[in-house]
Amino acid sequence: MRYFFYVSFTLLVCVSGFSGVRAQDTWARNEFGLGVGWFTVPELEELTADLVIPVASGGVLHVNDGEVTTSFGVSYRFFLLTSLGVGLDFVYQHENKTLNTKVGGTVVDTQKLKQDYLTFLPEVYWEYVQSRYFTMYVSLGLGVSLLAQNNKDTKSGDVEKSRDSFFAYQASVLGLRVSTFDNRLGFYIEGGYGYRGVISAGFAIRF
């Protein structure tokens, strides 16, 4: 994923440089972005469940080796006005977890759980502060998150697969975009709550 970001960033710089030679008053209606996020809804729910499961099971179930990746997102926006846009976000997140069943302090069963979340978020985006080199914005996205889950019993080798879907959302209440190349290429960081994360950051190109 690190090399993908390097290549993507290089391409965005090249495209933004080409776009920057256009007329200064050209209105860029399209935006394509790449970003990462931390503390998403699935991540916070899993962290809570990891704490609750041992207590609710009376100490029988224990969660070990829990790992949740940062969320990775790709977005597209179309600007209806210079400050108002609509778009679509795709967000991916992966989780690994080991669940041990203990009786009398002895592990009698171990399950390895893998979960993949793919979230689709149509959104509305509004810039309430605009300048040549930075903007401040808010956004709201409502959509669906698809969950693919694999549960492997390490003793029997049996694998149970399941699919599910959830209502998904992202409300970003404070966003900052710092721009270069005549507002074509920008770095953004935002705070909010939802399936993209409490904190998310990335870069985007307008054309």
pLDDT tens-digit readout, 77-102 = 999 999 999 999 999 999 987 777 76
**Count: domains in the chain:** 1
Has residue 112 got a pLDDT over 90? no
Question: Would you call 6 helix, strand, or coil by DSSP?
Answer: helix
C-alpha to C-alpha distance for 121 and 193, rounded to whole angstroms: 13
End-to-end CA distance of the chain: 25
C-alpha to C-alpha distance for 110 and 53, rounded to whole angstroms: 15
Question: What is the pTM for the complete model shown?
Answer: 0.80
Say which residue, 202 or 105, is predicted with more confidence: 202
Question: Would you call 107 helix, strand, or coil by DSSP?
Answer: strand
**What does the chain come to in residues?**
207
**CATH number for the domain harbouring residue 48:** 2.40.160.20
Least confident of 114-123, 171-180, 181-190: 181-190
Least confident of 24-33, 34-43, 103-112: 103-112
Q: Across the strands, what pairs with 174?
A: 191
- Can you give the residue range of the structural domain that contains 108? 2-206
pLDDT tens for each residue of 177-202 = 999 867 789 999 999 999 999 999 99
